[in-house]
Amino acid sequence: MISTWLVWILVLAAPALNGADEWPQFRGNQQLTGVTTAALPAKMRLVWTYVAGARIESSAAISSGTVYVGAGSGDLLAIDLQTGKLKWKYQATDSIGESSPAVSGGIVYLGDYGGVLHAVDAANGKGLWTFKTEGEIKSSPAVSGDRILIGSYDGSLYCLSRRDGKLLWSVATGNYVHSTPAIADGLAYFSGCDETVHGIRLADGQEIVNFPSGGYTGASMALVDKRGYYGTFDNQVVAVDLVKQSILWRYSPSGLPFYSSPAFGGDRIVVGGRDKLVHAINVRSGKAIWTFRTRARVDSSPAIAGGRVYVGSNDGRFYVFDLADGKKLWEYVAGAPLTASPAIAADRVVIGDLAGNLFCFGQ
């Protein structure tokens, strides 16, 4: 019999489900829901560890059996998902921070602190083209058709040709574009550091949606059924109606910000807070369903698979919770803060820590 959590997801977020063997970009899909149909084992174990030698803030992408992740050394790494062996590395222009790879059509895209977006051959690590912005890149690339989007700390969202990196259009905002755009129905949505929700038409860069977001925002928006969910530095999680361009509810449990991006779990979203808690919030009412207290702030963005929640914490632990009630099912002590977000594919989950270790868990 199909489980309740999966019924909810199939009804409300079918377009946002990610295939079991792929996690091709930050949050797993264009709608940034952090959800996959992959089935992970009930009892986890550490399968392998890759030592990158520099901090890993970048969240991994997984495609065709290969893990792609950026490191503070400026290396874009390609690692075999099954063995943990390095396939190749590509040296970016500058250090790689939170920008996470996107993989599409045999090309890996990734931004660096030098403000450069790189396009790299996924098979061999050969650089194909670069595009220079005027500020550092912490946003993760998002691919739609023949176009790729990237935000920059120069305050602009850029749309480029995937083939050659040619600029198609750019939109200037009033502050940093830190978050990754969520894409649906030909529009790219993001809540910016200018305290505004933007909806930009992919075809020509025209702004279709523009309204106050409820606060300075570094987190990315989970997009489901014309509604967006995101956290702010005004210490709230906010739900917005993107059609009516209005705020539906605000969740304000404490006096600390939300930097984590939410995962969509049917009737609830799950998000980490700088109050040290993982929060499950009802998507209709904006009320807490459950919380779990870790030992430090939670900047890692949760992922959901098979009725379980997977997330890292700055307390150096990787946690697995029951989506229904928040009960802790398993944890792994990494020893260093985990600010990156988990990537799940092919029955395995991958996450890096600030000590430069990339962990792969499975059976």
Please say if the pLDDT value at position 13 is more than 60: no
Share of the chain above pLDDT 70, in %: 95
**CATH number corresponding to 4-362:** 2.130.10.10
Please say if the pLDDT value at position 273 is more than 80: yes
Q: Are strands 268-272 and 277-282 parallel, antiparallel or unpaired?
A: antiparallel
> Tell me: the pLDDT tens digits for 211-230?
999 999 999 999 999 999 99
The arithmetic mean of pLDDT across residues 236-242, rounded, is 98
> Tell me: the pLDDT tens digits for 117-133?
999 999 999 999 999 99
| Cβ atoms of residues 152 and 136 within 8 Å | yes
pLDDT score for 42: 85
The arithmetic mean of pLDDT across residues 274-287, rounded, is 98
Q: Which two tokens stand for residue 191?
A: 């809540």
Q: Which two tokens stand for residue 190?
A: 């993001």
The average confidence (pLDDT) of the chain is 95
CA-to-CA distance for 62 and 46, rounded, in angstroms?
17
Q: Which two tokens stand for residue 45?
A: 């174990």
CA distances from 107 to 14, 113, 122, 196, 238 (A): 26, 20, 5, 32, 34
Locate the domains of the chain by residue range.
4-362
Shortest CA distance to 265 belongs to which of 22, 10, 2? 10
Please say if the pLDDT value at position 78 is more than 60: yes
Please identify which residue in the block is written with the tokens 């099954």.
82
pLDDT score for 43: 86
**Beta-sheet strand order (sheet of 357-362):** 45-51, 357-362, 348-352, 343-345
If pLDDT is split at 50, 70 and 90, which confidence band does 57 have? very high
Shortest CA distance to 9 belongs to which of 348, 329, 219, 305? 305
The arithmetic mean of pLDDT across residues 95-118, rounded, is 98
